[in-house]
């Protein structure tokens, strides 16, 4: 069941999203070569607690950290570790949410660390463009869920990239994950509800440099590309309001 949010609930979700956007902005300047993914996670935890929030992902279905930090071939759900050291040219995806008194955000950004290969930089640029095009598609009058996936899929595959099918965007706001699911592709076999006022959605293209196929590592969390090539991931939380679609994860 899709839960429609009231104006007051969206106001509170917006506050959580704005706080998350602040954290992502700080991370863009904080992450550097030589630090570990655990260092990044601890920074996120301290920021959230200092601002009277609760890390939404910590202990969610057993996940052991504040943020999912996925490097290079890791698509999503990377577990922070003191042993995973950030190197020059790495693509570092930070995906996290904040719980402010029962109101949840969800946001992801892939950060390019230092100088990287041109093909890796282009992958990030195209993935970020895919997110923007998906949001534009959701803003159209009468838009449906699969319009979002169509925008992502067309743009990413135009550049020859693999669009992850095994994981998708989702509803959010009063829980970490809610209905509906928002795939980054289209299919006549998938539900396709029309967007309605009160929906709050996490739109998140996950785009691979090579194949769309992925697998889960032995830790039962980390998803990696089957061919070992890098992946990029960008995510925003948006709300359908009486004034139109609003991107909530902004400063």
C-alpha neighbours within 13 Å on the C-beta side of residue 228: 0
Of the candidates 154, 148, 121, which has an alpha carbon nearest to the alpha carbon of residue 204?
148
CA pair distance 193, 196, nearest whole angstrom:
9
- Encoding tokens for residue 30? 């904080």
Strand partners, 36: 85
Q: What is the mean pLDDT of residues 83-104?
A: 98
Whether CATH 2.40.50.180 fits 7-247:
no
Whole-angstrom Cα distance, residue 210 to residue 160?
Answer: 8
> Could you tell me if 134 and 148 are in contact, meaning their C-beta atoms sit under 8 angstroms apart?
yes
Query: What ranges do the domains of the chain cover?
Result: 7-247
pLDDT digits (tens, 9 = 90+) for 190-239: 999 999 999 999 999 999 999 999 999 999 999 999 999 999 999 999 99
Task: Report residue 242's pLDDT band, with 50, 70 and 90 as the boundaries.
Answer: very high
What are 145-187's pLDDT values in tens digits? 999 999 999 999 999 999 999 999 999 999 999 999 999 999 9
């Amino acid at each position: 069941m899709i839960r429609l949010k009231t104006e007051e609930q969206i106001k509170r979700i917006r506050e959580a999203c704005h706080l998350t956007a602040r954290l992502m902005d700080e991370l863009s300047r904080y992450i550097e070569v030589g630090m570990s993914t655990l260092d990044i996670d601890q920074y996120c935890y301290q920021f959230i607690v200092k601002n009277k929030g609760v890390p939404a992902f910590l202990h969610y279905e057993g996940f052991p950290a504040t943020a999912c930090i996925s490097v290079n071939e890791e698509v999503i759900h990377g577990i922070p570790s003191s042993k995973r050291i950030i190197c020059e040219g790495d693509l570092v995806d930070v995906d996290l949410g904040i719980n402010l008194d029962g109101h949840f955000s969800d946001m992801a950004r892939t950060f390019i660390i230092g100088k990287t290969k041109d093909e890796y930089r282009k992958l990030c640029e195209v993935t970020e463009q895919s997110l923007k095009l998906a949001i534009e598609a959701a803003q159209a009058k009468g838009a449906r869920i699969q319009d979002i996936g169509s925008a992502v899929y067309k743009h990413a595959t135009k550049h020859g990239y693999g669009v992850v099918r095994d994981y998708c965007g989702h509803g959010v706001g009063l829980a970490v994950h809610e209905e509906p699911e928002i795939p980054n592709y289209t299919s006549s076999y998938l539900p396709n509800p029309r967007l309605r006022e009160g929906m709050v959605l996490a739109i998140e293209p996950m785009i691979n440099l090579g194949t769309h196929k992925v697998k889960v590592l032995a830790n039962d969390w980390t998803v990696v590309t089957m061919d070992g090539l890098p992946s990029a991931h960008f995510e925003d939380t948006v709300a359908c309001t009486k004034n139109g679609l609003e991107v909530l994860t902004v400063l």
